[in-house]
Amino acid sequence: MQAIVVSPPKKGIEYVDFQEEDGTGIPVRIRETGICGTDREIVNGQMASASLPRGSSFMVLGHEAIGVVQEDGESIRKGDLVMPVNRRGCGHCLACLNGRPDFCETGGFVEAGIKGMHGFMRETYWDEERYLVRVPRGIEDIAVMAQPLSDLEKSMEEVMQVQNRLPWKCPDGSLGCRKALVVGTGPIGILTSLLLRSYGLGVFISNVREPSREEQKIFDDADITYYNSSSGYSALRDKHGEFDLVFEASGADASMLPQLLGIIKNNGVLGLFGFPRSGYASFSHTDLQNLVYRSIAVVGLINGQKPHFQSAMNRLAAWKVMFPVATSLLITRVLDHTERDSVREALTSKTPGEIKVKIRWS
């Protein structure tokens, strides 16, 4: 069976015939896999934390997948459409023993196609039923987005828990009086902005360029305000005031972080989701004093688990009604796995205007 494999830190991909010798559980035929920035960082040799499965000289790539169950299980049936949960626990710490490897205390977790576990860019694999999440048939065209969205469902859960420290809801019980800025217009930034609109916040989104035509259609559909931040954020703050929540999803240079702290309201939150690729963040003692006196929370956000995958599926189904134009534009391109040159190119670099590229396996 064909698989796309990597050997980090070596650059590039290979196609190999691969089948795990100890395949146990339920067979799942992969229908499609998504390509994300993490895949490209691994392929380009830029992710230091990427590691091979024990005893293997390579790793199957891919952590976003939709598959078809090939045999009946206890609660799932042959023919069910499913998405696998990509992070698996260490088996030792309290968090992992309670089904929350997103908070693994030992760092011994594995992550499909990223860290110590073969991923899903292959034709068939075997998995335990507890790691499979049913996909509603009505969203199968965009269901691959549920993996990144699950991370954001968990992220918003954390933000809401942090903000339970104060009366954060508006007098009418909603979040309509609260305002958020999402930094970055990649798939994570777009999904985050749609999620925040679902929560009822007023949402702004920024990048250091003008939006593409497709991006603007998405923002118009969801009533999201775009801001070109190529000259910084002073003009945005002067016109619209400070923000209750700033969500960094760009992975831009770390030197930008002090600017973002400067546009957050008292008691606000800076959520860090993107991994900075370069630079240093310099904070003076005055900056840190302001952080304390203004009660601003800085929260690192990563990885959802099975309940968040389930929430993401429900969210995508709702968005089909709430944001029909936006959801129709989330998938930019679909490649067949046999189009090897195109797949190599897509796994190496992002094309202008791209949101999500899928690889079709069956």
Residues 109 and 227 in one domain: no
Please report whether residue 313 resides in a domain.
Answer: no
Does residue 151 have a known ligand-binding role? yes
Give the closest residue to 205 by CA, choosing from 194, 193, 214: 193
Does residue 302 have a known ligand-binding role? yes
Does residue 190 have a known ligand-binding role? no
Angle ∠(61,66,67) on CA atoms, nearest 5: 100
- Structure token pair of residue 280: 């240093």
User: Which residue, 300, 319, 345, sits at the end of a domain?
Assistant: 300
Please report whether residue 322 resides in a domain.
Answer: no
Provide, rounded to the nearest whole percent, the portion of the chain with pLDDT above 70.
99
Residues 48 and 82 in one domain: yes
What is the per-residue pLDDT for 18?
92
Does residue 301 have a known ligand-binding role? yes
Does residue 187 have a known ligand-binding role? yes
Residues 126 and 164 in one domain: no
Residues 125 and 213 in one domain: no
**Per-residue pLDDT reduced to its tens digit, 258-273:** 999 999 999 999 999 9
What is the per-residue pLDDT for 22?
66
Please report whether residue 155 resides in a domain.
Answer: yes
What three-state secondary structure class fits 267? strand
The dihedral over CA atoms of 249, 250, 255, 258, expressed in degrees to the nearest 10, equals: -30
Give the closest residue to 211 by CA, choosing from 224, 198, 194: 224
Query: Structural domain of residue 115, as residue ranges?
Result: 2-142+330-360
Does residue 98 have a known ligand-binding role? no
Does residue 86 have a known ligand-binding role? yes
What is the per-residue pLDDT for 251?
86
The pTM is what?
Answer: 0.95
Residues 25 and 155 in one domain: no
The distance between the two most distant Cα atoms of the chain, rounded to a whole number of Å, is: 61
> At 22, which CATH number?
3.90.180.10
Please count the structural domains in the chain.
2
**Per-residue pLDDT reduced to its tens digit, 236-255:** 999 999 999 999 999 888 99
What distance in Å separates the CA atoms of residue 333 and residue 82, rounded to the nearest whole number?
21
Report yes or no: 183 and 252 within 8 Å, Cβ to Cβ.
yes
What is the per-residue pLDDT for 276?
81
Please report whether residue 325 resides in a domain.
Answer: no
Residues 294 and 160 in one domain: yes
Residues 172 and 266 in one domain: yes
Exposure class string for 193-203: b at 16+ Cβ within 10 A, else e: bbbbbbbebbb
Residues 129 and 155 in one domain: no
Beta strands, E only, the chain: 2-6, 14-17, 26-35, 59-60, 65-69, 81-84, 87-88, 110-112, 116-117, 124-127, 132-134, 179-183, 202-207, 225-228, 243-248, 264-272, 297-300, 331-336, 356-360
Regions in the chain scoring below 50 on pLDDT: none
Residues 119 and 155 in one domain: no
Does residue 114 have a known ligand-binding role? no
Does residue 283 have a known ligand-binding role? no
What is the per-residue pLDDT for 66?
98
Q: State the burial class of residue 148 (Cβ atoms within 10 Å of its Cβ: 0-12, 13-18, 19+).
A: buried
- Structure token pair of residue 256: 């930008």
Residues 266 and 189 in one domain: yes
Residues 203 and 79 in one domain: no
> At 157, which CATH number?
3.40.50.720
Residues 105 and 182 in one domain: no
Does residue 21 have a known ligand-binding role? no
What distance in Å separates the CA atoms of residue 160 and residue 314, rounded to the nearest whole number?
19
Please report whether residue 278 resides in a domain.
Answer: yes
